[in-house]
Amino acid sequence: MKHCFRCWAEVDLDALRGNLAWIRHRVGPQVKIMTVVKADAYGHGLKQIAALLMQNGTDLFGVANLAEARAIHSVGQGWPVLMLGACLPDEAELTVLDGVIPTISTLQEAKRFSQAASRLNRPTRVHIKVDTGMGRLGVSVRKARELIVQVNRLPGLKLEGIYTHYASVEDDLEFSRAQRKRFQTLLDRLEVEGMAIPMIHANNSGALLHEPGTLFNLVRPGLLVYGVAPPGKRRLASTLQKHLHAALALKCRVSLVKEIPRGTPLSYGRMFVARTKMRVATLTAGYGDGYLRACSNRARVLIDGKRCPVLGRVTMDQMIADVSRVPGVKPGDEVVLIGRQRGDEISVNELAGWCDTIPWEVLTSISYRVPRIYRGSQAA
């Protein structure tokens, strides 16, 4: 399809479908899947991705805020959506009205939702989060049983789930196992006391790979669904990559090609000065599109299948690359910032490494001015 975009993202729906199918195979048919679609489905486009996942095996969605939940319900009314963050006090009534499942960490939050549910005559499902070491949200393990008992007594609330979150599962085996032990000890006590909770979950993408013994009956994959393995110190099987397929490619175009003499400074701050005569290309992407400024003088792009260094600072709408070894490059040529071109590939993890950051930031930084083009079956 011909288009005139200066910077765009291509999303492979077949890759997403295959990644979700692999996760389903890995966890088995008895374990439900909550796909995390925060931050515009990790930059892939929330509504389009939610529609695809609804048809291909997702049981629930995990979001960060009410706007994301409403976007999902605009695609599929009534789909179960868990708010993974804490609701603000003035969001309680809207959360109940919208049928969104809140996360509860305190009795004060629980009472707020109970009052809203009773006032609106809308019974509300809730999940309690247990802090086993993340420190961000959640009731302490020591106080979790007491909160569960109190929530079960409040009118208008149905305790549907209990969960925790790994803090460093990709890097720290010992701490992750300690978190697992704390959570399991709590679950064992609840079972002995006959307190059955329908949904129990702990595993994010990293834990799905490194802690398969804590699948329980619900998992929360995010990055894996989009075909990216969370990086870290704990090793992964080399066969993993054949099962995962990156769904997103980020591309732009060459706008200008010119020869520069030795000693020519490039871009703001003169971070790069040519040591010899060079041929350089100006590219139609910058940090306004979400291509991180930290890529300045560090990253590579693909032009005609060849890796070309990014020279000087990445600016808001443009950047410069060395095309001295790419004969015939001309304005209008396609440039791959993330993705594959002629047998080579720049992965999200590779780009994140150049920028001293994480793949989550790379993906979610892609801005709304970048059009998403969907490829594969069910593409709109």
The residues annotated as belonging to the active site are 38, 268
Is beta strand 81-83 parallel, antiparallel or unpaired with respect to 60-63? parallel
Q: Which DSSP category does 101 fall into?
A: B
157: alpha, beta or left, given left = phi > 0 and alpha = psi -120 to 50?
A: beta
CA dihedral 188, 192, 196, 202 (to 10 degrees): 0
Burial of 94 (0-12, 13-18, 19+ CB in 10 A): middle
Contact 257, 243 (CB under 8 A): no
Residues 6+ apart with CB under 8 A from 17: 52, 56, 376, 377
For residue 331, give the nearest of 369, 299, 302, 303 by alpha carbon: 303
